[in-house]
Amino acid sequence: MKIHEYQAKEIFARYQLPVTKEILCFTPGEVCAAAEKLGYPAVVKAQVLTGGRGKAGGVKLVRSIDEARSAGEKILGMDIKEYKVDKVIVAEGVRFNAEFYVGLTIDRNSKSVILMASKEGGVEIEEVAKENPEAILKFVIDPDLGMAPFLARKIAFMLFDDFNLVKQGADIIEKLYRIFMDTDSSLVEINPLVITNDGNLLALDGKMNFDDNALFRQEAIAELNEPSEDEKKEIEAKDKGLTYIRLNGSIGCMVNGAGLAMATMDLIKLFGGEPANFLDIGGSSSPQKVIDAMNLLLSDQNVKVVMINIFGGITRCDDVARGLIAALDQLNVKVPIVVRLSGTNSKEGLEILKQANLPTVETMSQAAQKAISLCSNCNK
Protein backbone atom coordinates (compact mmCIF):
# COMPACT_ATOMS: atom_id res chain seq x y z
CA MET A 1 0.00 0.00 0.00
CA LYS A 2 1.20 3.50 -0.86
CA ILE A 3 0.37 6.82 0.75
CA HIS A 4 0.81 10.41 -0.35
CA GLU A 5 3.77 12.64 0.45
CA TYR A 6 1.78 14.78 2.88
CA GLN A 7 0.62 11.67 4.75
CA ALA A 8 4.16 10.33 5.00
CA LYS A 9 5.40 13.66 6.36
CA GLU A 10 2.61 13.73 8.92
CA ILE A 11 3.92 10.39 10.21
CA PHE A 12 7.48 11.77 10.13
CA ALA A 13 6.38 14.76 12.20
CA ARG A 14 4.86 12.49 14.87
CA TYR A 15 8.34 11.03 15.36
CA GLN A 16 9.86 14.55 15.57
CA LEU A 17 11.56 14.39 12.20
CA PRO A 18 12.13 17.86 10.74
CA VAL A 19 9.68 18.47 7.86
CA THR A 20 8.52 21.49 5.91
CA LYS A 21 5.46 23.51 6.88
CA GLU A 22 2.70 22.79 4.37
CA ILE A 23 -1.06 23.00 3.80
CA LEU A 24 -3.25 20.53 1.92
CA CYS A 25 -5.45 22.17 -0.75
CA PHE A 26 -8.20 21.04 -3.10
CA THR A 27 -9.02 24.22 -5.06
CA PRO A 28 -7.04 27.09 -6.64
CA GLY A 29 -8.57 29.41 -4.06
CA GLU A 30 -7.24 27.28 -1.22
CA VAL A 31 -3.83 27.26 -2.91
CA CYS A 32 -3.79 31.08 -2.94
CA ALA A 33 -4.83 31.29 0.72
CA ALA A 34 -2.21 28.75 1.75
CA ALA A 35 0.56 30.52 -0.15
CA GLU A 36 -0.39 33.85 1.43
CA LYS A 37 -0.33 32.25 4.89
CA LEU A 38 3.02 30.51 4.45
CA GLY A 39 4.65 33.37 2.59
CA TYR A 40 6.67 33.49 -0.61
CA PRO A 41 8.38 31.76 -2.20
CA ALA A 42 6.19 28.66 -1.82
CA VAL A 43 5.99 25.36 -3.64
CA VAL A 44 2.80 23.83 -5.04
CA LYS A 45 3.12 20.03 -5.32
CA ALA A 46 0.69 17.54 -6.84
CA GLN A 47 -0.31 14.69 -4.54
CA VAL A 48 -0.52 11.48 -6.58
CA LEU A 49 0.61 7.95 -5.84
CA THR A 50 3.31 7.88 -8.50
CA GLY A 51 6.73 9.38 -9.19
CA GLY A 52 7.80 11.82 -11.86
CA ARG A 53 5.66 14.70 -10.63
CA GLY A 54 8.29 17.33 -11.33
CA LYS A 55 8.94 16.18 -14.89
CA ALA A 56 5.19 16.13 -15.56
CA GLY A 57 4.76 19.73 -14.40
CA GLY A 58 3.19 18.78 -11.09
CA VAL A 59 5.60 20.85 -8.95
CA LYS A 60 5.69 24.65 -9.25
CA LEU A 61 7.64 27.33 -7.38
CA VAL A 62 5.45 30.41 -6.86
CA ARG A 63 6.44 33.91 -5.79
CA SER A 64 3.10 35.74 -5.83
CA ILE A 65 -0.61 35.16 -5.41
CA ASP A 66 -1.09 35.27 -9.18
CA GLU A 67 1.54 32.57 -9.67
CA ALA A 68 -0.07 30.53 -6.89
CA ARG A 69 -3.48 30.75 -8.56
CA SER A 70 -2.00 29.84 -11.93
CA ALA A 71 -0.14 26.85 -10.45
CA GLY A 72 -3.27 25.64 -8.68
CA GLU A 73 -5.33 25.87 -11.86
CA LYS A 74 -2.71 24.06 -13.95
CA ILE A 75 -1.89 21.26 -11.50
CA LEU A 76 -5.33 20.45 -10.11
CA GLY A 77 -7.10 18.22 -12.62
CA MET A 78 -3.98 17.30 -14.60
CA ASP A 79 -3.07 13.66 -15.31
CA ILE A 80 0.29 12.28 -14.18
CA LYS A 81 0.94 8.74 -15.41
CA GLU A 82 -2.84 8.08 -15.54
CA TYR A 83 -3.36 9.49 -12.04
CA LYS A 84 -5.67 12.50 -11.88
CA VAL A 85 -4.53 15.22 -9.47
CA ASP A 86 -7.35 16.14 -7.09
CA LYS A 87 -5.26 17.67 -4.31
CA VAL A 88 -1.98 19.52 -3.83
CA ILE A 89 0.14 20.70 -0.95
CA VAL A 90 1.49 24.20 -0.67
CA ALA A 91 4.83 24.03 1.14
CA GLU A 92 7.08 26.75 2.44
CA GLY A 93 9.95 27.66 0.16
CA VAL A 94 13.29 26.56 1.62
CA ARG A 95 16.75 27.78 0.72
CA PHE A 96 19.30 24.98 0.91
CA ASN A 97 22.83 24.21 -0.27
CA ALA A 98 23.00 20.40 -0.46
CA GLU A 99 20.65 17.45 -1.08
CA PHE A 100 20.88 13.89 0.26
CA TYR A 101 18.93 10.65 0.08
CA VAL A 102 18.12 8.38 3.03
CA GLY A 103 15.83 5.37 2.74
CA LEU A 104 15.00 1.97 4.20
CA THR A 105 13.57 -1.05 2.41
CA ILE A 106 13.59 -4.85 2.52
CA ASP A 107 16.57 -6.58 0.91
CA ARG A 108 15.49 -10.00 -0.39
CA ASN A 109 19.07 -11.26 -0.73
CA SER A 110 20.02 -10.69 2.89
CA LYS A 111 16.43 -11.16 4.13
CA SER A 112 16.90 -8.06 6.23
CA VAL A 113 16.11 -4.39 6.36
CA ILE A 114 18.64 -2.38 4.36
CA LEU A 115 19.42 1.31 4.74
CA MET A 116 20.51 3.22 1.65
CA ALA A 117 22.01 6.69 1.72
CA SER A 118 23.57 8.97 -0.86
CA LYS A 119 24.99 12.44 -1.22
CA GLU A 120 23.16 12.62 -4.56
CA GLY A 121 19.64 13.41 -3.39
CA GLY A 122 16.87 15.20 -5.21
CA VAL A 123 16.66 12.69 -8.07
CA GLU A 124 15.11 9.22 -8.17
CA ILE A 125 17.41 6.76 -6.43
CA GLU A 126 16.90 4.33 -9.33
CA GLU A 127 18.62 6.83 -11.62
CA VAL A 128 21.56 7.16 -9.23
CA ALA A 129 21.83 3.36 -9.00
CA LYS A 130 21.91 3.13 -12.78
CA GLU A 131 24.28 5.98 -13.57
CA ASN A 132 26.48 6.17 -10.48
CA PRO A 133 25.96 3.08 -8.27
CA GLU A 134 29.08 3.72 -6.17
CA ALA A 135 27.39 6.88 -4.87
CA ILE A 136 24.89 4.80 -2.90
CA LEU A 137 25.87 3.59 0.57
CA LYS A 138 24.16 0.37 1.69
CA PHE A 139 23.96 -1.05 5.19
CA VAL A 140 22.25 -4.31 6.09
CA ILE A 141 20.60 -3.91 9.50
CA ASP A 142 21.09 -6.79 11.93
CA PRO A 143 17.55 -7.60 13.17
CA ASP A 144 18.89 -8.39 16.64
CA LEU A 145 20.64 -5.03 16.99
CA GLY A 146 18.30 -2.86 14.95
CA MET A 147 19.53 0.64 14.15
CA ALA A 148 22.14 0.83 16.89
CA PRO A 149 23.27 4.38 17.72
CA PHE A 150 26.87 3.61 16.70
CA LEU A 151 25.68 2.51 13.23
CA ALA A 152 23.51 5.60 12.80
CA ARG A 153 26.53 7.78 13.70
CA LYS A 154 28.78 5.83 11.32
CA ILE A 155 26.36 6.42 8.44
CA ALA A 156 25.96 10.08 9.35
CA PHE A 157 29.75 10.58 9.42
CA MET A 158 29.92 9.16 5.87
CA LEU A 159 27.34 11.69 4.68
CA PHE A 160 28.19 14.89 6.54
CA ASP A 161 31.39 16.76 7.39
CA ASP A 162 30.02 19.05 10.09
CA PHE A 163 29.66 17.48 13.56
CA ASN A 164 26.36 19.28 14.19
CA LEU A 165 24.97 17.78 10.98
CA VAL A 166 26.29 14.36 12.00
CA LYS A 167 24.30 14.57 15.25
CA GLN A 168 21.16 15.63 13.40
CA GLY A 169 21.67 12.99 10.72
CA ALA A 170 22.17 10.16 13.20
CA ASP A 171 19.00 11.19 15.03
CA ILE A 172 17.03 11.22 11.75
CA ILE A 173 18.38 7.81 10.73
CA GLU A 174 17.44 6.24 14.08
CA LYS A 175 13.93 7.72 13.95
CA LEU A 176 13.45 6.69 10.34
CA TYR A 177 14.27 3.09 11.26
CA ARG A 178 11.85 3.26 14.18
CA ILE A 179 9.11 4.49 11.81
CA PHE A 180 9.91 1.68 9.38
CA MET A 181 9.55 -1.00 12.05
CA ASP A 182 6.60 0.51 13.93
CA THR A 183 4.45 0.88 10.79
CA ASP A 184 5.31 -2.41 9.01
CA SER A 185 6.71 -0.45 6.10
CA SER A 186 8.22 -1.94 2.96
CA LEU A 187 9.79 1.41 2.01
CA VAL A 188 10.50 4.65 3.85
CA GLU A 189 12.57 7.37 2.23
CA ILE A 190 13.44 11.04 2.49
CA ASN A 191 14.40 12.48 -0.87
CA PRO A 192 15.71 15.06 -0.64
CA LEU A 193 17.02 15.54 2.85
CA VAL A 194 18.56 19.00 2.59
CA ILE A 195 21.00 21.17 4.48
CA THR A 196 19.25 24.50 4.86
CA ASN A 197 21.13 27.78 4.66
CA ASP A 198 20.96 28.09 8.45
CA GLY A 199 22.77 24.76 8.87
CA ASN A 200 19.95 22.35 9.72
CA LEU A 201 18.68 19.16 8.12
CA LEU A 202 15.13 19.17 6.73
CA ALA A 203 13.00 16.60 4.92
CA LEU A 204 11.60 18.26 1.79
CA ASP A 205 9.85 15.15 0.53
CA GLY A 206 8.84 11.81 1.99
CA LYS A 207 7.63 8.48 0.70
CA MET A 208 6.21 5.43 2.46
CA ASN A 209 4.95 2.06 1.26
CA PHE A 210 3.52 -0.60 3.55
CA ASP A 211 3.31 -4.38 3.70
CA ASP A 212 -0.28 -5.19 2.66
CA ASN A 213 -0.14 -8.41 4.68
CA ALA A 214 0.45 -6.45 7.89
CA LEU A 215 -2.38 -3.93 7.49
CA PHE A 216 -4.63 -5.99 9.77
CA ARG A 217 -2.53 -4.75 12.69
CA GLN A 218 -2.07 -1.23 11.31
CA GLU A 219 -5.63 0.10 11.37
CA ALA A 220 -4.60 3.76 11.35
CA ILE A 221 -2.37 3.18 8.33
CA ALA A 222 -5.03 1.15 6.49
CA GLU A 223 -7.46 4.06 6.83
CA LEU A 224 -5.08 6.20 4.73
CA ASN A 225 -5.46 3.92 1.70
CA GLU A 226 -6.67 5.54 -1.51
CA PRO A 227 -6.95 2.74 -4.07
CA SER A 228 -6.10 3.61 -7.66
CA GLU A 229 -8.49 2.74 -10.50
CA ASP A 230 -6.56 -0.48 -11.11
CA GLU A 231 -6.64 -1.34 -7.41
CA LYS A 232 -10.39 -0.68 -7.34
CA LYS A 233 -10.78 -3.22 -10.14
CA GLU A 234 -8.65 -5.70 -8.20
CA ILE A 235 -10.86 -5.22 -5.13
CA GLU A 236 -14.00 -5.56 -7.24
CA ALA A 237 -12.61 -8.76 -8.79
CA LYS A 238 -11.77 -10.19 -5.37
CA ASP A 239 -15.32 -9.54 -4.18
CA LYS A 240 -16.55 -11.63 -7.12
CA GLY A 241 -14.17 -14.49 -6.47
CA LEU A 242 -11.68 -13.51 -9.17
CA THR A 243 -7.98 -12.71 -8.96
CA TYR A 244 -7.10 -9.84 -11.30
CA ILE A 245 -3.98 -7.76 -11.90
CA ARG A 246 -3.82 -5.27 -14.76
CA LEU A 247 -0.72 -5.20 -16.95
CA ASN A 248 0.27 -3.08 -19.94
CA GLY A 249 -0.37 -5.42 -22.88
CA SER A 250 -3.25 -5.83 -25.33
CA ILE A 251 -4.20 -9.52 -25.01
CA GLY A 252 -6.77 -10.05 -22.28
CA CYS A 253 -6.35 -13.40 -20.51
CA MET A 254 -9.05 -15.44 -18.76
CA VAL A 255 -7.65 -18.59 -17.16
CA ASN A 256 -8.49 -20.94 -14.30
CA GLY A 257 -5.64 -21.50 -11.86
CA ALA A 258 -2.70 -19.26 -11.03
CA GLY A 259 -0.11 -21.65 -12.45
CA LEU A 260 -1.93 -21.99 -15.76
CA ALA A 261 -2.41 -18.21 -15.85
CA MET A 262 1.34 -17.66 -15.47
CA ALA A 263 2.08 -20.30 -18.14
CA THR A 264 -0.41 -18.61 -20.47
CA MET A 265 1.25 -15.23 -20.04
CA ASP A 266 4.67 -16.82 -20.57
CA LEU A 267 3.49 -18.33 -23.88
CA ILE A 268 2.10 -15.01 -25.06
CA LYS A 269 5.45 -13.37 -24.28
CA LEU A 270 7.35 -16.26 -25.91
CA PHE A 271 5.53 -15.76 -29.20
CA GLY A 272 6.01 -11.99 -29.15
CA GLY A 273 2.78 -10.74 -27.58
CA GLU A 274 1.98 -8.77 -24.44
CA PRO A 275 -0.61 -9.92 -21.88
CA ALA A 276 -3.00 -7.22 -20.66
CA ASN A 277 -3.66 -8.85 -17.32
CA PHE A 278 -3.47 -11.75 -14.94
CA LEU A 279 -7.00 -13.11 -14.42
CA ASP A 280 -7.70 -16.33 -12.54
CA ILE A 281 -11.38 -17.30 -12.38
CA GLY A 282 -10.61 -20.03 -9.84
CA GLY A 283 -12.14 -23.47 -9.57
CA SER A 284 -15.83 -22.57 -9.53
CA SER A 285 -18.18 -23.80 -12.24
CA SER A 286 -20.40 -20.71 -12.07
CA PRO A 287 -21.20 -19.23 -15.51
CA GLN A 288 -21.66 -15.89 -13.71
CA LYS A 289 -17.93 -15.85 -12.99
CA VAL A 290 -17.23 -15.94 -16.72
CA ILE A 291 -19.64 -13.06 -17.27
CA ASP A 292 -17.97 -11.05 -14.48
CA ALA A 293 -14.52 -11.88 -15.86
CA MET A 294 -15.46 -10.80 -19.39
CA ASN A 295 -16.91 -7.57 -18.05
CA LEU A 296 -13.65 -6.92 -16.21
CA LEU A 297 -11.50 -7.67 -19.25
CA LEU A 298 -13.53 -5.47 -21.57
CA SER A 299 -13.37 -2.52 -19.16
CA ASP A 300 -9.69 -2.21 -20.14
CA GLN A 301 -9.56 -0.18 -23.34
CA ASN A 302 -6.11 -1.58 -24.14
CA VAL A 303 -7.53 -5.08 -24.65
CA LYS A 304 -7.68 -5.86 -28.39
CA VAL A 305 -8.14 -9.65 -28.13
CA VAL A 306 -9.45 -11.95 -25.40
CA MET A 307 -7.73 -15.31 -24.92
CA ILE A 308 -9.61 -17.87 -22.81
CA ASN A 309 -7.57 -20.85 -21.64
CA ILE A 310 -9.42 -23.35 -19.44
CA PHE A 311 -8.21 -26.69 -18.14
CA GLY A 312 -11.23 -28.32 -16.56
CA GLY A 313 -10.76 -30.04 -13.23
CA ILE A 314 -13.18 -28.68 -10.67
CA THR A 315 -14.06 -26.10 -13.28
CA ARG A 316 -16.38 -27.60 -15.89
CA CYS A 317 -15.73 -26.54 -19.47
CA ASP A 318 -19.43 -26.63 -20.40
CA ASP A 319 -20.22 -24.13 -17.62
CA VAL A 320 -17.44 -21.87 -18.90
CA ALA A 321 -18.88 -22.11 -22.41
CA ARG A 322 -22.38 -21.24 -21.17
CA GLY A 323 -21.00 -18.29 -19.23
CA LEU A 324 -19.15 -17.08 -22.31
CA ILE A 325 -22.28 -17.29 -24.46
CA ALA A 326 -24.25 -15.43 -21.79
CA ALA A 327 -21.54 -12.77 -21.59
CA LEU A 328 -21.64 -12.27 -25.35
CA ASP A 329 -25.42 -11.88 -25.17
CA GLN A 330 -25.25 -9.35 -22.32
CA LEU A 331 -22.15 -7.37 -23.25
CA ASN A 332 -21.27 -5.35 -26.29
CA VAL A 333 -18.23 -7.43 -27.24
CA LYS A 334 -16.34 -5.91 -30.18
CA VAL A 335 -13.00 -7.67 -29.78
CA PRO A 336 -12.14 -11.13 -31.19
CA ILE A 337 -12.04 -14.07 -28.79
CA VAL A 338 -9.77 -17.12 -28.84
CA VAL A 339 -10.93 -20.13 -26.79
CA ARG A 340 -9.08 -23.25 -25.70
CA LEU A 341 -10.96 -25.76 -23.54
CA SER A 342 -9.54 -29.00 -22.16
CA GLY A 343 -10.50 -31.34 -19.35
CA THR A 344 -13.79 -31.89 -17.54
CA ASN A 345 -16.75 -31.73 -19.96
CA SER A 346 -14.57 -30.14 -22.65
CA LYS A 347 -16.41 -32.05 -25.38
CA GLU A 348 -19.74 -30.59 -24.27
CA GLY A 349 -18.23 -27.12 -23.89
CA LEU A 350 -16.70 -27.18 -27.36
CA GLU A 351 -20.04 -28.28 -28.81
CA ILE A 352 -21.79 -25.31 -27.15
CA LEU A 353 -19.23 -22.93 -28.63
CA LYS A 354 -19.50 -24.61 -32.04
CA GLN A 355 -23.27 -24.07 -32.08
CA ALA A 356 -22.65 -20.40 -31.31
CA ASN A 357 -20.13 -20.18 -34.19
CA LEU A 358 -17.26 -19.34 -31.84
CA PRO A 359 -13.87 -20.59 -33.12
CA THR A 360 -11.74 -22.74 -30.81
CA VAL A 361 -8.19 -24.11 -30.84
CA GLU A 362 -6.75 -27.30 -29.39
CA THR A 363 -3.52 -26.24 -27.68
CA MET A 364 -2.21 -23.37 -25.58
CA SER A 365 0.44 -22.58 -28.17
CA GLN A 366 -2.17 -22.34 -30.91
CA ALA A 367 -4.29 -20.08 -28.69
CA ALA A 368 -1.40 -17.75 -27.94
CA GLN A 369 -0.30 -17.54 -31.58
CA LYS A 370 -3.87 -16.97 -32.77
CA ALA A 371 -4.41 -14.22 -30.21
CA ILE A 372 -1.19 -12.48 -31.24
CA SER A 373 -2.13 -12.72 -34.92
CA LEU A 374 -5.58 -11.23 -34.28
CA CYS A 375 -4.03 -8.50 -32.14
CA SER A 376 -1.61 -7.59 -34.94
CA ASN A 377 -4.52 -7.33 -37.38
CA CYS A 378 -6.37 -5.01 -34.97
CA ASN A 379 -3.38 -2.66 -34.89
CA LYS A 380 -3.20 -2.31 -38.68
Residues 137-151: pLDDT tens digits?
A: 999 999 999 999 999
CA–CA separation, 189 and 160 (whole Å): 18
C-alpha angle 50-127-82 in degrees, rounded to nearest 5: 20
- Does the pTM exceed 0.85? no
336 prior amide bond cis, ω within 30:
no
Which residues of the chain form CATH 3.40.50.261? 229-378
Q: How many CA atoms within 13 Å lie on the side-chain side of 12? A: 28
pLDDT value at residue 284: 64
Q: Boundaries of CATH 3.30.470.20 in the chain? A: 96-222
**CATH number of the structural domain 96-222:** 3.30.470.20
Segment 231-253 mean pLDDT? 90
pLDDT digits (tens, 9 = 90+) for 297-327: 988 989 999 999 988 888 888 888 888 888 8
Active-site amino acid positions: 101, 189
Winning range, highest mean pLDDT, from 28-32, 53-57, 289-293: 28-32
Is pLDDT at 135 greater than 90 in this prediction?
Answer: no
d(CA 47, CA 53): 9
Q: Work out the pLDDT band at 356, boundaries 50, 70, 90.
A: confident
Q: Is the pLDDT of residue 167 over 70?
A: yes
pLDDT of residue 130: 82
218 pLDDT band (50/70/90 cuts)?
Answer: very high
pLDDT computed for residue 172 by the predictor: 98
Query: Domain 229-378: which CATH class?
Result: alpha beta
Q: How far is CA 169 from CA 102, 174, 238, in A?
A: 10, 9, 44
Task: Please list, residue by residue across 250-267, b when 16 or more beta carbons sit within 10 angstroms of its beta carbon and e when fewer do.
Answer: bbbbbbbbeebbeebbeb
Indicate the fold that domain 21-92 takes in CATH.
Answer: Dna Ligase; domain 1 (3.30.1490)
DSSP three-state, residue 157: helix
pLDDT (average), residues 31-46: 97
Instruction: Give the mean pLDDT of the chain.
Output: 92
Over residues 25-49, mean pLDDT:
96
**Mean pLDDT, to the nearest integer, of 113-135?**
86
